[in-house]
Structure 1
Amino acid sequence: MKHLHSGKVRDLYELPGGELLMVARDTISAYDFVLEPVIPDKGKILTQLSLWWFEQLADVVPNHVISTELPDGAPAEWAGRAVVVRRLEMVPVECVARGYLTGSGLKEYRRSGSVCGVPLPEGLVDGSKLPEPIFTPTTKAALGAHDEPMTFAEVVSAVGAEVAERLREVTVEIYRRGARLAAERGIIVADTKIELGWSPEGELVLADEVLTPDSSRFWPADRWAPGGPQPSFDKQFVRDWLTSAEAGWDRASGDPPPPLPPHIVERTRAKYIEAYERLTGRAFG
């Protein structure tokens, strides 16, 4: 196997036949930093949850998975966190859909009354449900840099009108499908980010991960209360700790965040497992 790339949470290898092997590590990132220590089992949770979602979304868009079997020579500890996938030409846009207002979208709304050029009603607060899901793409920043919001017109300039419309259509439909299935299990999907790429045959393909606690905001439906931060089953829990007085980190300083204490590591792992088990109906482990 030839190592090609290491991202914030995944390593990519080229196999002898030209396929790719994607391996999810247990690292967690926030605010453009890879944090320490790792969250035990996180890579397996994300991989197994993504595989479940790929099955649920198969009629919406094809995905990049070829096999979940470990190839010859792969370390045994990669089992459950490694997937053989198709080689794609990735779309140069982060495709994001929002059904609720929070995070960077809320900040932009407070400044302009819109998110990524999409005007929204007056009077929305942190956690408000939007009238309908919206497409809020961003740039794809390099490791350590920050993704910047894009308007739909800017996406059209980057990829052309026909492709831009297809990206919006697929992203919003994945969000709608995911939000509907999650709602049946007591979870609100506030927003989600997906990765799309082109196959050699020109087919648009869903890649990387989908509807995980890393790429989405998951809120317990029975505790949803617009007007402030929501309880969550995702890494917002880690973000909130990093900006708390307990962490003592000045985000504006540019210094790396402090190590996560054991109780935050344990609670994060528990939240990821609960999200997996509630969504899939399967026990983790």
Structure 2
Amino acid sequence: MKLVHSGKVRDVYADGDDLILVASDRVSVYDVVLPTPIPDKGKLLTALSLWWFEQLADLVPNHVLSATDVPEEFAGRAIRCRRLEILPVEWIARGYLAGLGWESYQATNTISGVQFPPGLLEGSQLPRPVFTPSTKTDPADGHDEHINEDQVAALVGADVTKKLGELTVELYSRGAEIARERGVIIADTKFEFGRAADGSLLLADEVLTPDSSRFWRVEDWKPGQRQNAFDKQFVRDWARDLGWWDKTPPGPEVPPEVVDETRRRYVDIYERLTGLRWA
């Protein structure tokens, strides 16, 4: 195998015609990888993604070839997948106001060119789920920025934009419905799509995990305040409250109590969603 890409969290290896996607225990906030890993994070992300790929398989094909035909040293945190040309867009769906979406709404009452009614609060449920794409920017070149559908069309074409924009909302809505039945709110999430050699579009990377989504427990949700996050936002909030204002490397060491609580929250959301016990 040959290492072809090392990202903030995942490493990608070439193995013949396939790729091996390996999720590490690294955690990144504000596009900076922190020096402290979260135990079992890679296995949790992989297991939850595989579960969601199954729940969504009737809506869209995905890149997964095998979760077991991987090198032994990566067992449990890797998948064998098809090679794809990943589209240069973050396909984001929002059902609630949070994060950068909330910041954009505060400034303009819009997100990615989509107009929202005045008077919404942080954490408010939107009138309907919406597609609010962003750029897919290498951290060395800056941060992702909201773009509108015309800008997406300039990157991938109008037909693909329409198809995948609608699919993004459909996938989010299916996931949100399943999660709500289990006492979990999916506030927002991002998907990645890629084009296979035959031209087909496939769902790729990770799906509806605590790294790519905002998860709130139904019993905790209260608009008008910072929500109790069961996802990577918990670490972002810790880093923000720490006073790490410049958000540049090196990131701060994560104390043991924050590591333990982050892992506990990832396990909690995995078990709530899947109904399975984490060993």
TM-score, normalisation: structure 1: 0.95
Shift of 1:158: 1.4
1:187 aligns with 2:184: yes
Aligned match of 1:266 in 249, 260, 263? 260
DSSP 3-state at the match of 1:21: strand
DSSP 3-state at the match of 1:87: coil
Q: Which amino acid aligns with 2:34?
A: L
Residue in 2 that maps onto 1:249 = 244
Where does 1:148-187 land on structure 2 (aligned, <5 Å)? Answer: 148-187=145-184
Q: Which amino acid aligns with 2:64?
A: V
Shift of 1:249: 1.9
Q: 1:211-236, CA deviations, whole angstroms, 9 ceiling, x for partnerless residues? A: 00000000011111000111111011
Q: In structure 1, list runs of 5 or more residues that go unmatched.
A: none
Shift of 1:20: 0.5
Share of identical aligned residues, percent? 55
Where does 1:24-173 land on structure 2 (aligned, <5 Å)? Answer: 24-71=23-70, 74=71, 76-144=72-140, 145-173=142-170
Separation in structure 1 between the aligned mates of residue 249 and residue 22 of structure 2, nearest angstrom: 28
Q: 1:245-268, CA deviations, whole angstroms, 9 ceiling, x for partnerless residues? A: xx242236x453311000000000
Please report the RMSD computed on the Cα atoms of aligned residues, expressed in angstroms: 1.1
DSSP 3-state at the match of 1:83: strand
TM-score, normalisation: structure 2: 0.97
Sort the Cα spacing of 1:67 and 1:255 in 2 relative to 1 into closer, same or farther, 3 A: closer
Shift of 1:179: 0.2
8 A Cα contact 2:32 2:249, kept in partner: no
DSSP 3-state at the match of 2:47: helix
Q: 1:79-130, CA deviations, whole angstroms, 9 ceiling, x for partnerless residues? A: 1101000001111111000000011011111111110000000101100000
Residue in 2 that maps onto 1:8 = 8
Shift of 1:69: 1.7
8 A Cα contact 1:96 1:171, kept in partner: yes
Residue in 1 that maps onto 2:271 = 277
8 A Cα contact 1:70 1:78, kept in partner: no
Q: 1:137-159, CA deviations, whole angstroms, 9 ceiling, x for partnerless residues? A: 11111134311111111111211
Q: Which amino acid aligns with 2:272?
A: R
8 A Cα contact 1:243 1:251, kept in partner: no
Separation in structure 1 between the aligned mates of residue 198 and residue 19 of structure 2, nearest angstrom: 17
Separation in structure 2 between the aligned mates of residue 281 and residue 223 of structure 1, nearest angstrom: 20
Q: In structure 2, list runs of 5 or more residues that go unmatched.
A: none
Q: Which amino acid aligns with 1:119?
A: Q
Number of residues paired by the alignment? 278
Q: 1:2-48, CA deviations, whole angstroms, 9 ceiling, x for partnerless residues? A: 110000111101112x1111110000111110012100000000000
8 A Cα contact 1:155 1:164, kept in partner: yes
DSSP 3-state at the match of 1:94: strand
